[in-house]
Amino acid sequence: MMEVARDMDRNDAVIGQALDRYSTNVVQDGFTLDPQTGDDDINALITEYWREWSKDPKA
């Protein structure tokens, strides 16, 4: 099934364009993290780890 979906994305003008448009609208400016664990210290720690990881090209 995955192979068929990839083939449609590559070779079908309508499906390929729809998937590209959909992913652009969903992702927009990228992914962000907003942890809501109920503990502000843990939220800050998770956010800091996320920032370090997301800026590391090797990660």
Instruction: Please give the average per-residue pLDDT across 7-36, as a whole number.
Output: 85
- Whether 49 shows a pLDDT value over 90: the answer reads yes
> How far lies 30's CA from each of 6, 40, 44, 54, in Å?
22, 24, 20, 11
Q: What is the mean pLDDT of residues 5-16?
A: 84
Decide: pTM greater than 0.75.
no
Domain ranges of the chain: 2-54
Mean predicted confidence (pLDDT) in 33-54: 94
